[in-house]
Amino acid sequence: MMANCCWLRYLAALFILTNCLVFALLLDLPAFDRHALLAERVRLYETMRANILEKESNNQLGGRIVLNAKERVANELIMFEKKHELERGLHNLSNFQASQHFFRSFTKINNTILFQRLRAMPKGGVLHAHDMALCSSDYLLKLTYREHLWACVSKSVEKEYQKLLFSLMQPQVEETCEWALLSALRAEEQSDVVDKELLAQLTMYPQEEFENEDAVWRRFRSIFRLVIGLLSYAPVWEQYIYRALEEFHEDGVQYLEIRSVLPILYDLVGGNFTILNTTRAMRNADLRFRASHSDWIGSRLIYAPTRRVSDARFAEYLGNALLLKSHFPDYFAGFDLVGFEDEGRPLRDYAGELLSIQGEIDFYFHAGETNWYGTNTDENLLDAVLLGTKRIGHGLALLKHPEVLRAARLQNIALEVNPISNQVLQYIGDLRTHPAAVLFADNYPVVIASDDPSFWKATPLTHDFYMAFMVIASRKADLGLLKQLALNSIAYGAFSASERVEAYEKWNLKWESWIDDINSEMTS
């Protein structure tokens, strides 16, 4: 209200001075008087302009962070590098990597000083990442050298691997592909040839353009089909999760919430596994990692099966969620639904069942991951908010629903923004046009996450932080924004009150050390 009064006073004064200047000209007052009126009008205009920009700066995400003396010094170095990159782009857009497709730009981005600083930065937690796409493709390739691994090679597309499976015997016949031991394929051809073929099918790289979102998602799903047999092998699963924690930790992450479909594990001798075994292996990997990394805050599970199922199957999902919470109360965080949102059933279809367990299970719904407007897909945002979701995954259509946006802010629902995913899956082209820029400008609670970093050949979080800092946020957004994003990842993580306090403490220790490391460059 006070801010509005100031605006009105400034506008009224400017209006009066403008009219006075007009009358001065009509009355042919001395030039001195006219110049004095014009000078006052210009002064008031400049004052208003500066105040508006200052208000916008203070109101943007991170604008209310007060940096201490050490942080202000570090901020000078951070902003020097940021402005250097941006100035190159302003002079010649072809030199500006962050506005280009990630597949064209990430190698050059990796070599920038700013990226290296952000890589070392303690970024808090990743609150949106999927189980089958956590580890680097190089690590996945190493897993394919384990014995008894079969590949199903397409009958119609040359050198296309459709499935992977560990087995003592040749798996059952498939209609579209033929099974062969991967070790035999490597013996027939050079290993590096097979490795190159596999790597090409373990990521979306380097294809930048698809016919449409349907085509993108067909390619995207093909990677999941390929890796699920590799990763859900019981001797691999826990090792894989442990390696994921290592890679995220090395990238400045201290906390991870894994959205998992909870694949049923298998072994070579017909072991009887359930989702409890899958979850126990994940939790065991986290406990082992915590024991050897004192700065690790932890990881948690968001059970996230596919959204395109019958009512009966969905009821099983909810039963699974309740079972997981009872068996793993300190590891299970909540429930979500995943998959291509445009093709899946809307949340509204399941509203009755979800309302029946509201309060027992926390929800973290994907919603509004679409470019459509006025459809079931973008209206999932409304249902997610009404159902009490703790956060919204993606929410690209949120700005198209101002009432939902208002309700989400009132309920303090954070938005999980995944910049590179949004671009690779063709929802956004140039990331400067990302709708989250509006939310950054208005200090909406945002967290930055990476979704499926393995599939984009991205780091676990740093590349997404870099894109958010460089082009989704204002050119003037500084260390305060970076700090706010890290703090948000803890503020909106699935913690109890006491756990959150401990998480802040662990993060702050690393943050202060990072600031000291940057400042030491000033004196070295």
Question: What does the pLDDT average to over 24-41?
Answer: 64
pLDDT category at 77 given cuts 50, 70, 90 is very high
Residue 186 maps to a domain: yes
Segment 200-224, tens digit of pLDDT: 999 999 999 999 989 999 999 999 9
The domain of 150 spans 139-214
Residue 152 maps to a domain: yes
What is the rounded CA–CA span in Å between residue 254 and residue 245?
Answer: 9
Domain limit, last residue, from 191, 214, 237:
214
Beta-bridge partner residues of 142:
none
Residue 92 maps to a domain: no
Q: Which residue has the higher pLDDT, 58 or 66?
A: 66
The pLDDT assigned to 1 comes to 44
Host H or E run for residue 524: none
Residue 383 maps to a domain: no
Host H or E run for residue 179: strand 177-181
Number of domains in the chain: 2
Hey, what are 349's tokens? 């279809």
Segment 455-467, tens digit of pLDDT: 999 999 999 999 9
Catalytic residue among 71, 85, 257, 369: 369
Q: 111 pLDDT exceeds 50?
A: yes
Question: What does the pLDDT average to over 265-284?
Answer: 96
Residue 30 maps to a domain: yes
The DSSP string of 394-412 is: E-TTGGG-HHHHHHHHHTT
Residue 46 maps to a domain: yes
10 Å Cβ neighbour count for 472? 28
10 Å Cβ neighbour count for 53? 11
The pLDDT assigned to 5 comes to 54
What is the rounded CA–CA span in Å between residue 448 and residue 461?
Answer: 8
- Active-site annotation holds for 178: no
pLDDT category at 36 given cuts 50, 70, 90 is confident
Question: What does the pLDDT average to over 480-498?
Answer: 98
Beta strands in 286-342 (DSSP E): 298-303, 332-335
Question: What does the pLDDT average to over 368-383?
Answer: 97
The residue to which tokens 């599970």 are assigned: 301
97-106, 418-427, 500-509 — which is least confidently predicted?
A: 97-106
- CA angle, 265 as apex, 228 and 354 as ends, to 5°? 85
Question: What does the pLDDT average to over 480-497?
Answer: 98
Segment 419-457, tens digit of pLDDT: 999 999 999 999 999 999 999 999 999 999 999 999 999
Residue 437 maps to a domain: no
Catalytic residue among 128, 130, 394, 463: 394
Domain limit, last residue, from 42, 59, 76:
59
Domain limit, last residue, from 166, 187, 214:
214
Instruction: Using a pLDDT cut of 90, give the percent of the chain over it.
Output: 83
Q: Which residue has the higher pLDDT, 88 or 205?
A: 205
Q: Are the C-beta atoms of residues 199 and 137 closer than 8 Å to each other?
A: yes
Q: 34 pLDDT exceeds 80?
A: no
The pLDDT assigned to 13 comes to 57
Q: 17 pLDDT exceeds 80?
A: no
Question: What does the pLDDT average to over 229-240?
Answer: 98
- Active-site annotation holds for 369: yes
Residue 492 maps to a domain: no
Q: Which residues contact 207 (CB under 8 A, 6 or more apart)?
A: 103, 219
Q: Are the C-beta atoms of residues 416 and 464 closer than 8 Å to each other?
A: no
Hey, what are 507's tokens? 């993060």
